[in-house]
Amino acid sequence: MHDALAEERQRAARALLERGVLLAGDPLFVLARRHKEELAADFRDRLGYALQISTHTARLYKRVLLSEARPLTLPPRSATDAKRSIDERRVLDARRCLMAALIGAVLERRTLWTQVPLTELAEEVAREGRALELEVDWKRSADRAALIDAVAWLSGLGVLALRHGAEGAFGEGVEEALEAYYDIDRPRLAGVLADPIRIAGATDTYDLDPPAGTEPNRARAQRLTRRLVEDPAVYLEDLSEEDRQYFLGQRGPLERRAAEISGLQVERRREGSALIASGRGLSDRPFPARSHRKQLALLLVAEMCAIDGERRAALSDEERELPLAFAHERVLELVAMLLARHREHWGWSAEDPAEARAAADGALGLLEELMLVRREPHGVLLRPAAFRYRSVTVKLADQPELFQEDAAP
């Protein structure tokens, strides 16, 4: 029975880590409410996150630096959009963030509104924008799309709910019966507009205004546990000297806390630690996947691993311990070779240097985000996790699928 309850908590925790918000009606919301006290304590003590659960919403407030934040993914507009990998969907970019903020400002001031037609909301948003000297013009398709996506994002949080009409339909030329009409959920709106984590999670003045150069062990432990949970891997070489010494001294407890809250297995290597998921949960960069960029990235890292193995075979034991860099020109050659080999499946041209370089930049950017390579001025370095993909088989077709075989860590 104990194991079943722990598994329920971990399922709810993974959903909150991945999605941030669970709404009433979601089976995982039921689990979150059932275990709300244990979950709130786990998130607070292990990760420094704040969890708020009401009768209709469970929301996790993460402690994220804007400089390290990754884009928020927008809800899919269609079944086709929903089938795409999460990192290939539209994101809440700067313009859409602005629209969401303007909508929030309008709704907060119009305290008597419980419902609103989208056309009226758009007029108020434009008026609010003009008051702030922001240019908003609904005749521009980019502004209309930004508004519709911002409304969709707020709808995903339960702040707005379509009452009738067609989602996102507003303005001149839209039939009255099709115009979108939304209900407003005031408690959820308040949750979006307020971020209580700094105050609600504070236990001393350090949490609100940390002195320069100091950090209590509790805060350091939470920060390093967050890296285990949120990042693809924690490499010792990426840590500061103080963090590295603390991590090595507290490695077991840190790994255990991350594993207990997520339900994932910890893989420990000499170079660092990582949580390993058998499926694709918790990842905002699913890999491998069907997109051509990810196919290219997978084949590229496999080629680089094979070459790295051949090069190291000729070295002494001491030399094998040193990192070997691939010159940028060599990586570009490998990409051009792969583009030529699979020209019938991909749309890139190996003969066009600009196109080949753009394809290489896209593949390397993805591999760097996944912490599989590191780009430096003198070349590209393979990182230890890359060797999980050193033996792969890729099936390329009109609807390509990837199969990983014998992926040795």
Q: Domain range spanning residue 380? A: 292-404
The CATH number that applies at residue 108 is: 1.10.10.10
pTM (2 decimals)? 0.77
Q: Are residues 94 and 148 in the same domain?
A: yes
3-state secondary structure the chain: CHHHHHHHHHHHHHHHHHHCEEECCCHHHHHHHHCHHHHHHHHHHHHCCEEEECCCEEEEECCCCHHHCCCCECCCCCHHHHHCCHHHCCECCHHHHHHHHHHHHHHHHCCCCCEEEHHHHHHHHHHHHHHCCCCCCCCCHHHHHHHHHHHHHHHHCCCEEEEECCCCCCCCCCCCCCCCEEEECHHHHHHHHCCCHHHHCCCCHHHHCCCCCCCCHHHHHHHHHHHHHHCCCEEHHHCCHHHHHHHHHCHHHHHHHHHHHHCCEEEEECCEEEEECCCCCCCCCCCCCCCHHHHHHHHHHHHHHHHHHHHHHCCCHHHHCCCCEECHHHHHHHHHHHHHHCCCCCCCCCCCHHHHHHHHHHHHHHHHHCCCEEEECCEEEECHHHHHHCCEEEECCCCCEEEECCCCC
Count of structural domains within the chain: 4
Q: What is the pLDDT along the chain (409 residues), one digit of tens a residue?
A: 468 899 999 999 999 998 888 999 899 999 999 999 999 999 999 999 999 998 889 999 887 766 667 777 887 777 787 777 777 788 888 899 899 999 999 999 999 999 999 999 999 999 999 999 998 999 999 999 999 999 999 998 889 999 999 888 898 777 877 899 999 999 889 888 875 444 445 555 555 555 555 678 899 999 999 999 999 999 999 999 999 999 999 999 999 999 999 999 999 999 999 998 876 667 777 888 778 899 999 999 999 999 988 888 877 777 677 778 899 999 999 999 999 998 888 878 878 889 999 999 999 999 999 999 999 999 999 999 998 888 766 555 543 333 333 333 3
Residues 261 and 309 in one domain: no
Residues 247 and 322 grouped into a single domain: no
Question: Do 93 and 63 share a domain, yes or no?
Answer: no
Same domain flag for 302 and 346? yes
Within a domain: residue 262? yes
- Residue 222 domain-assigned (yes or no): yes
Q: Please check whether residues 161 and 256 belong to one and the same domain.
A: no
Within a domain: 356: yes
**Is position 73 within any domain?**
no
269, part of any domain: yes
